[in-house]
Chains A and B, each alone.
Chain A
Amino acid sequence: MTHASFYDAVRTRFTEVVPHVRECGMIVDHLSAEYAQARLPYRPEWLGDSERRLIHTGIITTVIDTVSGLAVLAALGQFEPIATLDLRMDYLRPTLPDKPLHCRAECYRVTRHICFVRACAWQDDEKEPVAVSQSTFMRSSHSRQRSARTI
């Protein structure tokens, strides 16, 4: 598979095949070995506080987890089972309604068994992120682990 068709295949599988990604309506805006970027259009059901009208941090975690996994596959350049080991989120500022949420993730280190990812999420200005994250993924086929995850 050429690189371009691999990225197309990942994109399609991600947005059309994964039920939860489809239910949330995430859109992939960029995919390369360097980074993955996607956006989540606003919906009232993303709110975590209906009184103050702030977006729930849990849906930000879902987007970041998804895009981080996508960045790992893109960095690996092939489909292989991966599993999230851990994920840490820092919520830097309130996330506002009526605007999409953008997320970019970069897999900056790949070893035989483990991939390391950093990600951030923003609304208007990438320089003012609403959340940043750090996560690690296991390459399951290399570790002969059953708890595999393929996007």
Chain B
Amino acid sequence: MSTRNETEMSQARRLAREGGDLSLLRARVPYAAFLDVQVTLDQGVPRFRMPFRRSLIGNTVLPAIHGGAVAGFMENAAILHLLLLLEETRVPKSIDFSIDYLRSANPVDTYAACEVARQGRRVAQVQIRCWQDEEGHPGRQREIAIGRAHFLLTSPSDETGT
């Protein structure tokens, strides 16, 4: 059982790493597919994108993307970042997550990049930066939120099934 899972996960990882094809990895994380999270690899460094769609709106007056959707996107970015860079055999479990909102999220595509600040044997600490393009200045980043999260990594006992 664990061998099969390991194979499926490593196959999903290989497709994502080599061809930038996230479909198998996303199939393991349905909520990432719900938010339509995309990934591009720039010299091995993942950058995540949540394409804008109207149903992400949380404030119709501004309008702005729902803060929860931004947070959910950032948690997905952190999880996929760990799956892409580490050799995890299962989806890492979230322990906690904290987000600071800096600016409202405009109705455009949203981006995120992550950094693993600490990786222990059982726990990883991930920092997540989230931005959009500055209006009228494509490529200039407008930071909308920063986050951090702790994840429980696959333990050796999980792998052997004990």
Contacts and interface: CB of A to CB of B under 8 A. Distances in A.
A90 interface: yes
A87 B99 contact: yes
Interface of B: 5, 27-35, 54-62, 64-69, 71-73, 75-76, 79, 90-91, 93-101, 103-104
B104 A147 contact: yes
Contact of A46 (B31, B69, B90, B91): B31
Interface stretch (A3-11, A15-23, A120-128): A15-23
B96 A150 contact: no
B79 A48 contact: yes
Contacts of B104: 83, 146-149
Classify the secondary structure of B's interface with A: mixed
Contacts of B62: 148-149
A1 interface: no
Q: Which of A45, A56, A69, A151 has the most chain B CB within a 10 Å cutoff?
A: A56
Interface residues of A, number: 45
A69 to B, nearest CB: 8
Contact of B91 (A18, A20, A49): A49
A50 B28 contact: yes
A49 B33 contact: no
Nearest to B96: A90
Contacts of B33: 45
A44 B27 CA distance: 12
A66 B30 contact: no
B100 A85 contact: yes
A45 B31 contact: yes
A45 B59 contact: no
Nearest to A17: B60
A61 interface: yes
Contact of A89 (B32, B54, B56, B98): B98
B149 to A, nearest CB: 9
Nearest to B100: A86
A57 interface: yes
Contact of B90 (A21, A51, A81): A51
**Cβ-closest 6 pairs across A and B:** A62-B68, A58-B72, A56-B31, A20-B66, A65-B68, A58-B75
B94 A20 contact: no
29 contacts: A18-B59, A20-B58, A20-B66, A20-B68, A45-B33, A46-B31, A48-B32, A48-B79, A48-B91, A49-B28, A49-B91, A54-B93, A56-B32, A56-B72, A58-B71, A58-B76, A61-B68, A62-B71, A65-B68, A66-B58, A69-B67, A86-B98, A87-B71, A88-B97, A88-B99, A94-B93, A147-B64, A147-B101, A148-B62
A89 B96 contact: yes
A150 B61 contact: yes
Given A19-B60, A50-B28, A148-B61, A62 B98 contact: no
Nearest to B105: A147
